[in-house]
Amino acid sequence: MTGLLLYKIGITMMAVLGLSFVAEKISTRLAGLLSGYPIGTAIILHFYGLEYGAQFAADAAIFNLCGLFASQCFAYTYYRASQRTTSLFLVSVLALSGYMLPAFIVSQTNPTRLNALVLAVIVTALFCILLRNNTTQKVAPSRTWSTHLVVSRLLFTATLVLVVTEFADIVGPSWAGLFSAFPVALYPLVFLLHREHGSETARTFLGNFPYGLWSVIAYALTVSLVYPLYGVVLGTLLGFAIATAVLAVIGIKPLLIYWKCPKQNAT
């Protein structure tokens, strides 16, 4: 169990530091897009499979597709709330409430794979439209990454991941799947960007989040199909391969902009 715990924390550390680096050193817009990559989803579903079995994780992946509705409600609520108040605490409370209410609604249903996929596609397209005119913000001034800064970021995110995975066997696959869509990487990152660089930077980050979620849809759908057939390890690799291909297609435009305009790539 100790080795598994260290593995969870290690993967979380890489995810948090990687996205933090992109957001603060390269491009806030690109970081927002990459935040939609199934980092948190993959971590949680992978450990569901290791700890509770491949079928449990496959069932949870179906609810993860539905849970994307809740995670995008979280992002949209945070985006709008940050325009109306400067209180980080209030914005966080509203955003978390924006996640829990749709998550509770979805938990009362018993979706099929097809129903979950249709819901995920519709809501992701909707939120891409709702946030299509988000304002862009340049990369915040680079700051030195002190030990205290790095450790605090890692602890914040690792705690969220551990809480979600440890309660999976108590709540069952439906709520476990919904929690696998909880923004374990998004929330601490946007919170820190908001606190350290302002609400406009946070909104630029959030405005690009839904576009990256097409890769999550691909990942969760793949896991729901292949985990029972090929196991957790191979299923995870296949999921990442397909999700990466989808993200490459979605993200090619901002990447080209970044490479062609290095001095204006912040957006």
Query: Is residue 116 within 8 Å of residue 65, measured between CB atoms?
Result: yes
Average pLDDT, the chain: 80
Q: What is the mean pLDDT of residues 108-128?
A: 91
Q: Which of 19-33, 59-73, 249-263 is least confident?
A: 249-263
Q: Is residue 265 part of a domain?
A: no
Residue 90: its pLDDT value, please?
Answer: 96
Cα(146)–Cα(152) distance, integer angstroms: 10
Q: At residue 259, does pLDDT exceed 60? A: no
The crossing angle, in degrees rounded to 10, of helices 39-52 and 54-84 is 150
Q: Is residue 155 part of a domain?
A: yes
Domain count, the chain: 1
Q: If we measure between CA atoms, which residue out of 165, 139, 130, 191 comes closest to residue 60?
A: 165
Q: Is residue 120 part of a domain?
A: yes
Range of the domain at 147: 2-260
Residue 187: its pLDDT value, please?
Answer: 84
Q: Is residue 16 part of a domain?
A: yes
pLDDT band at 260 (very low <50, low <70, confident <90, very high): low
Taken in order 102, 159, 161, 17, the sign of the CA dihedral is positive
**What's the predicted TM-score (pTM) here?**
0.80
Q: Is residue 267 part of a domain?
A: no
Residue 235: its pLDDT value, please?
Answer: 95
Cα(115)–Cα(208) distance, integer angstroms: 25
Q: Is residue 266 part of a domain?
A: no
Q: Is residue 28 part of a domain?
A: yes
Query: Is residue 42 within 8 Å of residue 220, measured between CB atoms?
Result: no
Residue 264: its pLDDT value, please?
Answer: 46
Q: Is residue 207 part of a domain?
A: yes
39 vs 211, residue with greater confidence: 211
Rg (CA), the chain: 17
